[in-house]
Structure 1
Amino acid sequence: MPNVNPFDKRKPVVLVAYRPEWATEFAVLARRLRALVGPAVLRIDHIGSTAVPGLRAKDVLDLQLTVPDLLAVGALVPTLRQAGFRQGEVLLQDVYHFLPADSAELGKRYMREPGGERTAHLHIRQAGHFNARYALLFRDYLRASEVARTEYELLKVRAAELFPDNIDGYLHLKEPVFHLLYEAASLWAEKVGWQLPAPDA
């Protein structure tokens, strides 16, 4: 068999109907992570499309690990690497056009599942930062708004049709929608008095 680079972005974009087992798979992985990281991580949350019941998604679990200080994660990343989780040495930035690209509010570390396990992305972000809050606001807004959820799913389906073999193109098309949804989610949050929910783990 040919060697496959797990980080090669030239791969098919496959969306599947929502699967209730995603919540169970998250819970199992979150318990495992909690046992590994202990109090070094303040909260572990299920984020992204697989965390939104009824939403079509790529079969990839997204987890957010919130830490007190991203620049002082200490033994956290080595601990995860020793348990088989991959990547994570490079400090990455999320992208939101209304904040400077090098803003500390967008910093994160990124890791992936151990080789051979079900696909999961770990987003390590700092408590109180914009990107950590937005991941949860985005999730909760899509859970609450059927209209936003339906239209966002339609965009995802069309993006996958346009870029069936290019995850970069798929994400590039989706990116501006995150900014639009942020405006709508912020208004919704103000209206309903949304605050950070209790952690998932």
Structure 2
Amino acid sequence: MPFPDELGPAVAVVDYDPDWPSEFKHLAGRLRAAVGDRAVAIDHIGSTSVPGLAAKNCIDAQIRVPALAPDLVILLESAGFRCRPEPWNRTETSYGQPCEKLVFAPPVGERATNVHVRVTTGPNTRYALLFRDYLRADRDARQAWGAFKQRLAQSVPDLADYGQIKAPATNLLMTAAKRWATQTAWTVA
């Protein structure tokens, strides 16, 4: 759930913004400064990481770490990021396996972001990267996914409802993504 300062109007899915990659690059620099060599990698993930894809104007970043540890919360909170407390921001299921994670909101007053901290070898890490790379590679899937999200946002303006309705559709998308990964011998870089 959003923090009170993040509450705004209804869900809006907007056309791709060519500034999103540079906004991610700035965010990644701040995250790298906060966690240092604790990060194996910092990835631009989610819909804003896919050129041409309509998305909510919220940059998603993934920090890949060898293991989740309490000091990561301290490091990120010291940089102003806020750990999201909800259970679904602590555990998620990917490929049928429960996976631990942490999710952070931006510092108060900053642009919408979600910072996902995941174990580098976790299936949820692979899932996020496969989602991005598949939609980057498949123009038809990218256009269909963007159109679906725009229609959904127009008819379901509540963020929680939007997310719950989108989840099963994401699972269908990822079935095609897994086929694509097998066909192309895609691996996590």
Q: TM-score, normalized by length of structure 1?
A: 0.86
Q: In structure 2, do the counterparts of structure 1 residues 172 and 74 end up closer, same or farther at CA, with 3 Å as the change threshold?
A: closer
Q: Give me the CA root mean square deviation.
A: 1.8
- 1:55 aligned residue (53, 56, 61): 53
- How far 1:6 sits from its partner (Å)? 3.3
- 1:126 aligned residue (93, 115, 119): 119
Alignment of 1:27-66 (within 5 A): 27-66=25-64
**5+ unaligned residues in a row in structure 2: which ranges?**
none
Q: Give the percent of matched residue pairs that are identical in Structure 1 and Structure 2.
A: 41
- How far 1:7 sits from its partner (Å)? 5.6
Aligned match of 2:4? 5
Query: Partners of 1:7 and 1:17 in 2: how far apart?
Result: 21
Kindly indicate which of the two structures has a greater share of residues assigned to strand. 2
Aligned match of 2:96? 99
Aligned match of 1:78? 74
**Per the alignment, in what secondary structure is the counterpart of residue 18 of structure 1?**
coil
Matched, 1:186 2:185: no
Query: Partners of 2:169 and 2:114 in 1: how far apart?
Result: 21
- How far 1:21 sits from its partner (Å)? 0.6
**5+ unaligned residues in a row in structure 1: which ranges?**
none
The alignment covers a number of residue pairs equal to: 185
How big is each residue's C-alpha offset from its partner over 1:70-125, in whole Å with a ceiling of 9 and x where there is no partner? 2xx242211111111112466612245x626xx2xx22111011011111100111
- 2:65 aligned residue (67, 71, 94): 67
Q: In structure 2, do the counterparts of structure 1 residues 89 and 167 end up closer, same or farther at CA, with 3 Å as the change threshold?
A: closer
**Per the alignment, in what secondary structure is the counterpart of residue 111 of structure 1?**
strand
Aligned match of 1:117? 110
**Per the alignment, in what secondary structure is the counterpart of residue 5 of structure 2?**
coil
Moved more, 172-181 or 48-57: 172-181
CA contact 1:64–1:122 (8 Å) conserved in 2: yes
